[in-house]
């Protein structure tokens, strides 16, 4: 019998032995189309068999360099030793009791760890959920209860989830919102400091964007009506936009001055991804509430809202929760994931990934005028593709580039409000040889556009 063990022991090599997708993946795709709702899309039409380190192997025996990490989820690698060890032990003890019926220590341990690793030395508490969207939605509930206000302010290009409320918070229509309305009310959108596309130039971006955002909030909503300002410190699905330096502190200070709960949505950027435990630390921002998911538990479904104890305690007993929220197996996996992040110093690994990748991406931008911008921090990097000679978005080239990479054994993801950004989210444990080989494949693909 073939050994199907994945994890760190999986051979760390790219291997393309069939056309992409191969025959077994094609057969499974036919079954998927017959049994799975069409709304569940697919980026890369291959079916995974095992994964670990910096590679993912499909059912046809192809091994891909992984620049996606399941959308920033498997930052510690697939089947990381501590995650498997702790989750396996928990599975043997019990799989579920529901924390609202009979609580259990792993839930408390995760909340204690979140208090340690999130920014700020104030007293903190947490509540655990299943998904990032649930975390954001509950952060809004908590903020509304704490302030007695209703309005929520979000930003252009932001993404916060697929529930009814979080669709309202999300900027992009297709595919996230189209046809799914009406949406939750009392949501207001203001400009974000997008340096590459700021009309008066990146040097003016932070000051002008902050002034416009604050002016719109003050005049159109009324600061006294705002419960929460919700923002991603590095915008994910909107195109890996790093707000111009100085913008986030201005918005955070405005929130503080007006009794508004400042919520950092770190669902994609958190847990070492940007070279720090959390992206908001880059400018010394201490949010009132921080939402996390994705990288928290090494691939198991878990999310959290963590924040100032007096804010978190605003919701009445029974007002927060959910049957599966903070499942004990997911909590055990999170403890293993955090253990791995500490022991292997994954913030430093993320910074090293940036040192390897960003100069090469910038060199490619100098060679290929289809690349309009290179941006990001740590292992959360991106290139924005444009039509040569200007800044018009080029989603067609982006899709073609992704397909060429896939065919040659590199798993990449696209993103962006305009569909013209290629994002790079390698596992933080990936080897530098795979990083460079993946960049070689990207460079070759750019030459074929």
pLDDT tens profile 395-408: 999 999 999 999 99
Q: State the pLDDT at residue 3.
A: 57
Q: What pLDDT is attached to residue 4?
A: 63
Q: In Å, how far are 156, 157, 289, 412 from 238, measured between CA atoms?
A: 8, 4, 21, 16
User: 5 pLDDT band (50/70/90 cuts)?
Assistant: confident
Q: Do 245 and 283 form a contact (C-beta atoms < 8 A)?
A: yes
Average pLDDT value over all residues in the chain = 97
In this structure, are strands 261-265 and 226-231 parallel, antiparallel, or unpaired? parallel
Average pLDDT over residues 348-365: 98
Count helices and strands in the chain by DSSP H and E runs: 13, 15
**Nearest-CA neighbor of 138 among 4, 228, 22, 41?**
228
- pLDDT (0 to 100) of residue 212: 98
**Which pair of tokens denotes residue 253?**
């200070």
DSSP 41: -
What does the pLDDT look like over 101-155, one tens digit per residue? 999 999 999 999 999 999 999 999 999 999 999 999 999 999 999 999 999 999 9
Spatial CB neighbours of 224, under 8 Å, sequence gap ≥ 6: 149, 258, 259
Give the pLDDT score at 1: 35
- Exposed, middle or buried, 1 (CB in 10 Å: 0-12/13-18/19+)? exposed
The per-residue pLDDT for range 57-76, each reduced to its tens digit, is 999 999 999 999 999 999 99
């Amino acid at each position: 019998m073939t050994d199907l063990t994945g994890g760190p022991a999986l051979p760390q090599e790219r291997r393309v032995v069939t056309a992409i997708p191969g025959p077994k993946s094609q057969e499974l795709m036919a079954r998927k189309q017959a049994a799975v709702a069409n709304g569940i899309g697919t980026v890369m039409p291959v079916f995974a068999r095992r994964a670990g380190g910096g590679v993912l192997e499909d059912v046809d025996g192809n091994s891909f360099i992984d620049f996606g990490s399941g959308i920033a989820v498997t930052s510690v690698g697939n089947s990381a030793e501590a995650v498997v060890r702790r989750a396996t032990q928990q599975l043997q003890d019990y799989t579920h009791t529901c924390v609202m019926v009979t609580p259990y220590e792993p839930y408390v341990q995760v909340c204690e760890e979140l208090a340690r690793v999130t920014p700020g030395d104030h007293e903190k508490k947490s509540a655990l959920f299943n998904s990032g969207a649930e975390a954001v939605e509950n952060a809004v509930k908590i903020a509304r209860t704490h302030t007695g206000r209703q309005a929520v302010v979000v930003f252009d290009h932001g993404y916060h989830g697929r529930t009814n409320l979080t669709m309202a918070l999300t900027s992009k229509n297709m595919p996230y919102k189209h046809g799914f309305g009406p949406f939750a009310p009392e949501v207001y959108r203001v400009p974000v400091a997008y340096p590459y596309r700021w009309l008066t130039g990146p040097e003016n971006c932070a000051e002008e964007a902050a002034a416009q955002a604050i002016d719109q909030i003050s005049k159109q909503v009324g600061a006294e009506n705002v419960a929460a300002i919700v923002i991603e410190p590095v915008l994910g699905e909107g195109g890996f936009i790093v707000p111009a330096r100085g913008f986030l502190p201005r918005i955070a200070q405005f929130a503080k001055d007006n009794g508004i709960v400042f919520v950092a949505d770190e669902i994609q950027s958190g847990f070492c991804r940007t070279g720090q435990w959390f992206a908001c630390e880059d400018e010394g921002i201490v949010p009132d509430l921080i939402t996390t998911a994705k990288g928290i538990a090494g691939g198991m479904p878990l999310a959290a809202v963590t924040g100032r104890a007096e804010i978190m305690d605003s919701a009445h007993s029974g007002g927060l929760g959910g049957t599966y929220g903070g499942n004990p197996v997911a909590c055990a996996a999170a403890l293993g994931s955090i253990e791995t992040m500490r022991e292997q110093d994954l913030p430093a690994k993320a910074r090293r990934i940036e040192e390897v990748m960003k100069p090469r991406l910038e060199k490619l931008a100098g060679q290929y005028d289809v690349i309009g911008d290179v941006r990001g921090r740590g292992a959360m990097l991106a290139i924005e593709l444009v039509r040569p000679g200007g800044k018009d978005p080029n989603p067609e080239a982006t899709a073609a580039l992704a397909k060429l990479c896939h065919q040659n054994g590199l798993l990449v993801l696209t993103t962006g409000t305009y569909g013209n950004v290629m994002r790079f989210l390698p596992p933080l444990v990936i080897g530098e040889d795979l990083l460079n080989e993946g960049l070689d494949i990207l460079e070759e693909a750019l030459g074929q556009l």
